[in-house]
């Protein structure tokens, strides 16, 4: 009985607790497995989509030079189709792309876009033709791929969170984009312009760096190389919209850009290729602060061409437009240098330059400017008019000169007559001086001849 009393008795309560615990544990394990299976089912489409996207990016990273005859056209077409598929995914994606995708995507874009450009062809012929890039530049064979890549990049920039993309679009990436503006394909430069401008507007923390980088391109082109740069006009178009957004009063940095960059861009011989964009940028500055018109005009006069007639015609038109917008208080200071240069142009033997300079006098604002310093300006004008009427070979130029002369005589008849009399006196004095000079030379020649005649001849003996 002792043994029976001391033996352990089964406890039904303890057994039931243990069974309940095991049941609950089994239920939790089953539930967690079911939940895990459900989460795997939910994630599998996303993972498969990412894997497919990475596969497309990996395939498109391979570049075709389009110059190797052994390349398969079918492979090139397949890459183009995959790029189109990638563009469609980027366009339709409602959620931002994960870093797992963005890193290889930007690496693929860089591998395709940032390539060595071919050397420029026929630079001398192209530099004098402003708007014939489409006719001269041979279309790039790789453009069907590049076009889609630029569309992808533009879409990424448009939909980007600027801070999230800071690791991918950095200074190096922007410098590489800027270097591509030397491409001779105008379609590529147009796409580059859209991308670069969109980056400037969205990535505000890069604006100062991007402005400085563009200025470096301009200054290198003007002062350090004589080679043609295809993208100057496109970069100036970007600058035109940037200047349009400047607030008044302008910062000192922006005024320095006008003086040190825009004005010297009138110097290169290939200015005709980008003059339209350059003139727009300069006029934007003068519209915002008319006082800057004097700086712009003096700079243009400083870089006035001597033998390039096409540039002269363009600069006459630009200067006429600036005169319409400058501060009227500067008229008196600028009238004499401007009218002196216009007079030189209307005396040009090139009829196009002469006619363009004479047409300036149809501008009421220009005449108003000249009238502010009429006493200083009239002698220069009268001399130019009379010279044209006497010596210019072109009948149309002489006819236009007659019209301008009639206008000036009507404006100040007394002063015009006085200037004519003064001009006659100067011409008479010049003729007398010329006669004295000729007489002096004749006396010198006679004296030299007589001295040579009187001197005995000199012989030089040569010994064997």
Alpha helices (H) along 114-231: 123-127, 133-136, 143-158, 171-179, 186-202, 207-223
Q: Is the pLDDT of residue 344 over 80?
A: yes
Q: For 380-399, what is each residue's pLDDT tens digit?
A: 999 999 999 999 999 999 99
pLDDT band at 41 (very low <50, low <70, confident <90, very high): very low
Q: For residue 307, is it within any domain?
A: no
Considering the domain boundaries, does residue 290 fall inside one? Answer: no
Q: Is residue 163 part of a domain?
A: yes
Give the pair of three-digit tokens for residue 431: 């003729």
Q: What is the DSSP letter of 131?
A: S
Range 304-331 average pLDDT: 93
Half-sphere exposure of 277 (CA within 13 A, CB side): 18
pLDDT at 9 > cutoff 60: no
Average pLDDT, the chain: 85
Q: Is residue 148 part of a domain?
A: yes
Q: What is the pLDDT of residue 136?
A: 43
pLDDT at 12 > cutoff 60: no
Total structural domains in the chain?
2
Question: Each residue of 78-104: pLDDT tens digit?
Answer: 999 999 999 999 998 888 888 889 999
Domain-located, residue 332: yes
Residue 370 has pLDDT above 60, yes or no: yes
Please choose, from the candidates 161, 149, 159, the residue with its C-alpha nearest in 3D space to the C-alpha of residue 64: 149
Calculate the dihedral angle through the C-alpha atoms of 245, 251, 253, 257, rounding to the nearest 10 degrees.
Answer: 50
pLDDT confidence of residue 68: 66
pLDDT of 8: 43
Q: What whole-number distance in Å separates Cα of residue 137 and Cα of residue 186?
A: 8
The pLDDT tens digits of the residues spanning 432-451 come to: 999 999 999 999 988 888 87
For residue 323, is pLDDT > 90? yes
**Would you state the structure tokens that stand for residue 399, as one six-digit string?**
């006819």
Residue 170, number of CB atoms within 10 A of its CB = 12
Predicted TM-score of the model (pTM): 0.81
CA geometry: angle 307, 308, 310, nearest 5 deg: 150
* 216 falls within a domain: no
Report pLDDT digits (tens) over 51-80.
888 999 999 998 887 766 666 678 888 999
Phi, psi of 135 (to 5 degrees): -85, -30
Domain contains 14? no
The parent domain of residue 372 ranges over 326-436
46 assigned to some structural domain: no
What percent of the chain is predicted at pLDDT more than 90? 62
Q: How far is CA 420 from the centre of its chain?
A: 48
């Amino acid at each position: 009985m002792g043994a029976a009393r001391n033996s352990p008795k089964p406890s039904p309560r303890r057994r039931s607790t243990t069974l309940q615990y095991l049941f609950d544990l089994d239920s939790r394990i089953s539930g967690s497995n079911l939940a895990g299976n459900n989460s795997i089912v939910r994630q599998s489409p996303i993972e498969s989509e990412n894997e497919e996207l990475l596969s497309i990016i990996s395939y498109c990273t391979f570049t075709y030079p389009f110059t190797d005859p052994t390349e398969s056209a079918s492979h090139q077409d397949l890459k183009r189709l995959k790029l189109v598929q990638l563009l469609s995914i980027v366009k339709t994606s409602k959620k931002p792309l994960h870093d797992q995708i963005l890193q290889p995507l930007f690496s693929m874009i860089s591998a395709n876009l940032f390539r060595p450009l071919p050397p420029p062809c026929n630079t001398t012929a192209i530099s004098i033709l402003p708007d014939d890039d489409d006719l001269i530049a041979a279309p790039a064979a790789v453009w069907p791929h590049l076009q889609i890549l630029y569309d992808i990049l533009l879409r990424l920039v448009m939909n980007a969170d600027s801070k999230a993309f800071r690791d991918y679009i950095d200074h190096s990436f922007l410098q590489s984009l800027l270097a591509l503006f030397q491409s001779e394909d105008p379609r590529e430069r147009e796409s580059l312009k859209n991308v670069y401008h969109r980056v400037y507007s969205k990535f505000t923390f890069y604006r100062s760096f991007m402005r400085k980088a563009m200025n470096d391109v301009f200054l290198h082109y003007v002062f350090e190389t004589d080679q043609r740069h295809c993208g100057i006009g496109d970069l100036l178009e970007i600058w035109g919209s940037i200047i349009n957004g400047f607030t008044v009063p302008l910062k000192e940095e922006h005024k320095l850009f006008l003086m040190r960059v825009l004005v010297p861009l009138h110097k290169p011989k290939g200015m005709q290729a980008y003059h339209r964009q350059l003139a727009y940028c300069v006029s934007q500055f003068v519209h915002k602060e008319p006082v800057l018109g004097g700086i712009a005009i003096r700079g243009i006069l400083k870089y006035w061409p001597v033998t390039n007639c096409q540039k002269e015609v363009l600069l006459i038109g630009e200067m006429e437009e600036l005169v319409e917008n400058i501060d009227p208080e500067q008229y008196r200071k600028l009238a004499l240098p401007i009218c002196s240069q216009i007079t030189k142009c209307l005396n040009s033997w090139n009829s196009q330059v002469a006619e363009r300079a004479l047409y300036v006098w149809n501008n009421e604002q220009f005449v108003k400017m000249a009238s502010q310093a009429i006493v200083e300006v009239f002698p220069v004008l009268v001399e130019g008019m009379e010279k044209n009427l006497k010596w210019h070979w072109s009948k149309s130029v002489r006819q236009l000169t007659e019209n301008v002369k009639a206008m000036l005589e009507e404006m100040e008849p007394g002063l015009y007559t006085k200037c004519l009399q003064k001009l006659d006196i100067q011409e008479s004095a010049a003729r007398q001086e010329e006669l004295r000079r000729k007489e002096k030379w004749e006396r010198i020649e006679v004296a030299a001849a007589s001295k040579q005649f009187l001197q005995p001849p000199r012989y030089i003996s040569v010994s064997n």
